[in-house]
């Protein structure tokens, strides 16, 4: 019977090809999809207002008795006009005006009472209200009416009718996704009831309960999905490692690790020595030194004779990690290779060969690292940097390389605790919460455009002291200017103002990977003094000599993004500055920028960002690659914890959700992830 629910929407009675097309446009393909098209609001018709309390020009619900009905008249434009007089139980008179709808008018019987809903207009001349084209509500009718988000070409009434048909198919199906035990434990209503209540509620209170039921299921689906995705890797580990001396590595570092870094290294090495694969998140604010920790893990792994893969989201970052790891590992006799999309065929062939025969143990790269042609010999550890930039799909693809290697993900996006639980599910977390010694907090100032000249003079003082600067270019008008045009135009302007005393270069997203790398390399080697760029520099770029960052039109960025950008400076010993320029900041934007000036702690920034913009936007910004949640309020910690324990209960009994009673849930999870491009969970 449940098959009927998942039939195409066209099979529903009363749905034409044309109407089906309108539904398809917004992603509603099946009958079940349409059930998930939830009302955006409800209209409560249960309590009519007294006529004298009606709100003029608005829809009101009144209860009136018909006094007398007039004869139909034609207006000049040929409209049929029906008029009647009525009064409510306080004897306040009200006129009834009906255009064209003869049957509605005919159904009204003088002396009878009716509940009517319609727009009410106050007629000054007659000192009374009229209600226009009222809808007559009968006793048997739904007192609370669902209002749907608009679909172009469809009225709310049409949607209501179609959903009514879906509900009767649902009733016959007996469909349920959550096991009885969980529903009982968490006091969740059956799915069928939840849909009925959402679409045809009898009280406002029960709507909340129904919404909770659906939100709970949504969160549970996501959590279960993530767990099932990782299930295999939890089972057995082929890469159990032995203790090795780490002293040579520490001795060759140009600095000593902070206590937080040491602690993170210890946690990672413990995992690598254990008999199940590591699944760890390394979180640390920008500049906290995650790369050195990753390098320590790689050294350990390579001494155990396994290969390590370090993957970065962009070529710039991959190049940079390659450089850093060469610096750390070459002196120890470990060779490092780089895989990116822009390699020449010959280079590719050579590098693939060295990877396949195991002569290279450290592999750094972009997505290119998990192309089919790359055959690893013994990949014990896979590290991804700025992991939130990868979707779940890529994570899964990575897990398939080799026999469930240990996994470490590094993220510089501080995520508030509740959201971290949501996004990372069952990852273990190591946090680097102190900055390397001698690091001065970045000084941040928010100023208006009027200060630009002063800001530039200040920048030149920094340049004179041998430092370098970033300028994040003004917003581009998407309609006319290309990124290239706006960055170059801005660079020309700056060149003019700086009297070409300084080397100025540009970096933006429309450059080829080679051009980008060249530009970064010149900046790294201090051949460039000022780098004018777009947000390409946002993630992970490391040039400790850069001490000043100017961000134009700062108000267009979220707080977390500004914090990321700011993290490009303050990476060396010198005092660093971040100057936020805004031309047309609203009060709210000013507030945000002030907040950023007052704290350099990424977690505080993230919490504030979450509060200001809500979880939806927050997630939008961090690009977690997870299926979007429509119903679940992700800041609802109470529900989150209930969901976690429900998920534990479910999976301890049936870790891969293969039991028949979990088939419906499993199918739902699969479909949720399929929309993200993941077609198999196993
Ligand atoms: P992130 O956590 O943002 O990836 P990086 O690993 O790029 O940070 O490190 C930022 C800078 O700090 C680099 O120049 C790195 O060499 C330096 N660094 C890392 N750890 C230490 C330390 N313990 N003491 C001093 N400098 C360090
Ligand atoms: Mg980094």
Out of 107-116, 290-299, 558-567, least confident range:
558-567
Helix (H), strand (E), coil (C) string for 288-329? CCHHHHHHHHHHHHHHCCCEEEEECCCHHHHHHHHHHHHHHH
Ligand with smallest separation from the Cα of 438: 1
Rounded distance from Cα 290 to ligand 1 centre (Å): 7
Identify the band that residue 623 occupies on the pLDDT scale cut at 50, 70 and 90. very low
User: In this model, does residue 613 exceed pLDDT 70?
Assistant: no
Out of 31-35, 347-351, 563-567, 616-620, least confident range:
616-620
Rounded distance from Cα 532 to ligand 1 centre (Å): 24
Identify the band that residue 622 occupies on the pLDDT scale cut at 50, 70 and 90. very low
Q: Do 522 and 528 form a contact (C-beta atoms < 8 A)?
A: yes
Which residues are registered as beta bridge partners of 8? 30
Rounded distance from Cα 287 to ligand 2 centre (Å): 7
Average pLDDT over residues 221-227: 80
The encoded tokens of residue 605 equal 């920034």
More confident residue, 609 or 586: 586
Ligand 1 pocket by Cβ (under 6 Å)? 255, 257-258, 261, 284, 286-292, 412, 436, 540, 542, 544, 571
Average pLDDT over residues 193-216: 92
What was the pLDDT predicted at 559? 83
> Pairing mode, if any, of strands 379-385 and 307-311?
parallel
More confident residue, 548 or 619: 548
What was the pLDDT predicted at 316? 82
Report helix, strand or coil for 75: coil
- Cα 412 to Cα 143, 284, 430, 543: the distances in Å are 51, 5, 12, 16
Which residues are registered as beta bridge partners of 408? 280, 383
Rounded distance from Cα 398 to ligand 1 centre (Å): 26
Q: Pocket of ligand 1, candidates 259, 287, 289, 297: which has the most ligand atoms within 8 Å of its Cβ, to mutate?
A: 289
* CATH class of the 46-141 domain in this structure: mainly beta
CATH node for 443-600: 3.40.50.300
What was the pLDDT predicted at 281? 85
User: In this model, does residue 402 exceed pLDDT 60?
Assistant: no
More confident residue, 549 or 394: 549
Q: Pocket of ligand 1, candidates 287, 327, 566: which has the most ligand atoms within 8 Å of its Cβ, to mutate?
A: 287
Identify the band that residue 17 occupies on the pLDDT scale cut at 50, 70 and 90. very high
> Cα(648)–Cα(642) distance, rounded to whole angstroms?
10
Identify the band that residue 124 occupies on the pLDDT scale cut at 50, 70 and 90. very high
- Residue nearest atom 26 of ligand 1, based on CA coordinates: 436
Rounded distance from Cα 394 to ligand 1 centre (Å): 27
Average pLDDT over residues 558-583: 88
Average pLDDT over residues 479-508: 79
Identify the band that residue 110 occupies on the pLDDT scale cut at 50, 70 and 90. very high
Architecture, CATH, for domain 247-432:
3-Layer(aba) Sandwich (3.40)
Q: Do 679 and 255 form a contact (C-beta atoms < 8 A)?
A: no
User: In this model, does residue 602 exceed pLDDT 60?
Assistant: yes
> Which of 38-47, 165-174, 383-392, 601-610 is predicted most confidently?
165-174
Q: How far is CA 648 from the centre of its chain?
A: 25
| Torsions phi, psi for 133 (to 5 deg) | 40, 55
Rounded distance from Cα 50 to ligand 2 centre (Å): 66
Report the b/e string of 306-331 with b at 16+ CB within 10 A.
bbbbbbbbbbbbbbbbbbbbbebbee
* Domain edges within the chain: 46-141, 247-432, 443-600
What was the pLDDT predicted at 621? 41
What was the pLDDT predicted at 217? 92
More confident residue, 632 or 146: 146
Residue-averaged pLDDT of the chain: 85
Look-up of token digits 């917003």: 475
Own/partner pairs for 188-193, CB < 8 Å, 24+ apart? 188/212, 188/213, 188/216, 188/217, 189/213, 191/217
Q: Which percentage of the chain shows pLDDT scores above 90?
A: 44
Q: Do 330 and 299 form a contact (C-beta atoms < 8 A)?
A: no
Q: Pocket of ligand 1, candidates 260, 292, 543, 571: which has the most ligand atoms within 8 Å of its Cβ, to mutate?
A: 292
Identify the band that residue 369 occupies on the pLDDT scale cut at 50, 70 and 90. confident
More confident residue, 395 or 299: 299
> Cα(581)–Cα(553) distance, rounded to whole angstroms?
6
What was the pLDDT predicted at 95? 96
Which pLDDT tens digit goes with each residue over 439-482?
788 999 999 889 999 999 999 999 999 999 999 987 765 555 56
Strand arrangement, sheet containing 428-432: 336-339, 362-365, 307-311, 379-385, 406-411, 279-284, 428-432
What was the pLDDT predicted at 682? 44
User: In this model, does residue 357 exceed pLDDT 90?
Assistant: yes
What was the pLDDT predicted at 564? 83
Name the nearest CA neighbour of 281 among 408, 393, 179, 193.
408
Which residues are registered as beta bridge partners of 310? 364, 383
- Residue nearest atom 5 of ligand 1, based on CA coordinates: 289
Q: Pocket of ligand 1, candidates 254, 258, 284, 291: which has the most ligand atoms within 8 Å of its Cβ, to mutate?
A: 291
- Based on the number of CB atoms within 10 Å of its own CB, is 77 exposed (0-12), middle (13-18) or buried (19 or more)? exposed
Mark out the alpha helices in 82-203 (DSSP H runs).
102-107, 156-173, 180-186, 191-199
More confident residue, 429 or 192: 192
Whether 46-141 shares its CATH topology with 443-600 is answered no
- Cα 574 to Cα 146, 272, 418, 462, 577: the distances in Å are 61, 37, 35, 10, 10
What was the pLDDT predicted at 620? 44
- Residue nearest atom 12 of ligand 1, based on CA coordinates: 289
- Based on the number of CB atoms within 10 Å of its own CB, is 344 exposed (0-12), middle (13-18) or buried (19 or more)? exposed
- Based on the number of CB atoms within 10 Å of its own CB, is 392 exposed (0-12), middle (13-18) or buried (19 or more)? buried
- Cα 431 to Cα 265, 283, 298, 547: the distances in Å are 11, 5, 18, 26
Q: Do 396 and 225 form a contact (C-beta atoms < 8 A)?
A: no
């Amino acid at each position: 019977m449940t098959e009927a629910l998942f039939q195409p929407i066209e099979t529903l009675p009363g749905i034409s090809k044309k109407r089906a097309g309108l539904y398809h446009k917004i992603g509603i393909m099946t009958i079940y999809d349409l059930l998930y098209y939830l009302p955006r609001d409800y209209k409560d018709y249960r309590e009519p207002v007294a006529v004298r309390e009606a709100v003029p020009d608005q829809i009101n619900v009144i209860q009136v008795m018909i006094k007398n009905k007039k004869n139909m008249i034609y207006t000049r434009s040929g409209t049929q006009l029906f008029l009647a007089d009525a009064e409510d139980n306080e004897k306040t008179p009200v006129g009834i005006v009906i255009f064209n709808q003869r049957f509605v008018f005919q159904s009204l019987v003088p002396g009878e009472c009716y509940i009517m809903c319609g727009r009410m207009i106050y007629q000054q001349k007659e000192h009374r209200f009229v209600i226009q084209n009222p809808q007559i509500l009968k006793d048997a009718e739904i007192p609370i009416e669902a209002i749907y988000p608009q679909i172009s070409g469809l009225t709310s009434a049409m949607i209501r009718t179609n959903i009514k048909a879906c509900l009767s198919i649902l009733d016959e199906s007996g469909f349920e996704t959550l096991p009885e035990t969980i529903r009982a434990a968490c006091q969740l209503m059956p799915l069928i009831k939840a849909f009925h209540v959402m679409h045809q509620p009898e009280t406002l209170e029960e709507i909340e309960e129904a919404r909770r039921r659906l939100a709970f299921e949504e969160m549970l689906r996501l959590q279960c999905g993530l767990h099932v995705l990782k299930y295999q890797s939890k089972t057995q580990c082929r890469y159990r490692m032995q203790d090795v001396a780490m002293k040579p590595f520490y001795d060759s570092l140009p600095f000593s690790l902070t206590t937080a870094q040491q602690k993170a290294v210890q946690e990672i090495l413990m995992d690598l020595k254990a008999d199940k694969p590591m699944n760890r998140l390394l979180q640390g604010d920008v500049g906290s030194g995650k790369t050195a920790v990753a390098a320590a893990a790689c050294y350990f792994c390579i001494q155990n004779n396994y290969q390590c893969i370090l993957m970065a989201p962009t070529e710039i970052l991959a190049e940079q990690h390659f450089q850093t790891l060469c610096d750390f590992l070459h002196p120890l006799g470990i060779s490092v290779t780089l895989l990116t999309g822009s390699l020449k065929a010959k280079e590719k062939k050579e590098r693939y060969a060295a990877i396949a025969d195991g002569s290279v143990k450290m592999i750094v790269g972009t997505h290119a690292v998990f192309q089919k042609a790359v055959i690893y010999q013994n990949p014990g550890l896979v590290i991804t940097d700025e992991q939130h930039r990868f979707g779940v799909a890529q994570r899964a693809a990575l897990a398939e390389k080799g026999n469930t290697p240990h996994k470490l993900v590094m993220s510089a996006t501080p995520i508030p605790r509740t959201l971290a639980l949501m996004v990372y599910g069952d990852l273990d977390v190591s946090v680097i919460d102190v900055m390397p010694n001698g690091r001065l907090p970045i000084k941040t100032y928010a100023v208006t455009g009027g200060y630009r000249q002063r800001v530039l003079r200040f920048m030149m003082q920094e340049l004179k002291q041998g430092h370098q600067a970033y300028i994040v270019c003004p917003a581009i008008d998407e309609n006319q200017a290309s990124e290239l045009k706006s960055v170059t135009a801005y660079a020309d302007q700056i060149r003019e103002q700086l009297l070409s005393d300084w080397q100025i270069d540009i970096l933006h997203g429309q450059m080829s990977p080679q051009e980008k790398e060249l530009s970064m390399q010149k900046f790294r080697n201090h051949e460039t003094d000022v780098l004018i760029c777009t947000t390409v520099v946002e993630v992970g770029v490391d040039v400790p000599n850069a001490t000043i960052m100017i961000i134009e039109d700062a108000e267009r960025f979220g707080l977390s993004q500004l914090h990321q950008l700011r993290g490009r400076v303050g990476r060396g010993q010198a005092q660093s500055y971040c100057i936020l320029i805004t031309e047309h900041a609203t009060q709210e934007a000013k507030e945000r920028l002030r907040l950023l000036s007052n704290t350099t702690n990424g977690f505080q920034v993230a919490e504030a960002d979450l509060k200001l913009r809500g979880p939806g936007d927050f997630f939008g910004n961090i690009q977690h690659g997870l299926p979007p949640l429509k119903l679940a309020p992700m800041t609802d910690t109470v529900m989150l914890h209930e969901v976690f324990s429900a998920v534990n209960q479910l999976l301890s009994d049936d870790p891969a959700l293969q039991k028949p009673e979990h088939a419906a849930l499993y199918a739902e999870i699969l479909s949720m992830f399929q929309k993200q491009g993941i077609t198999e969970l196993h």
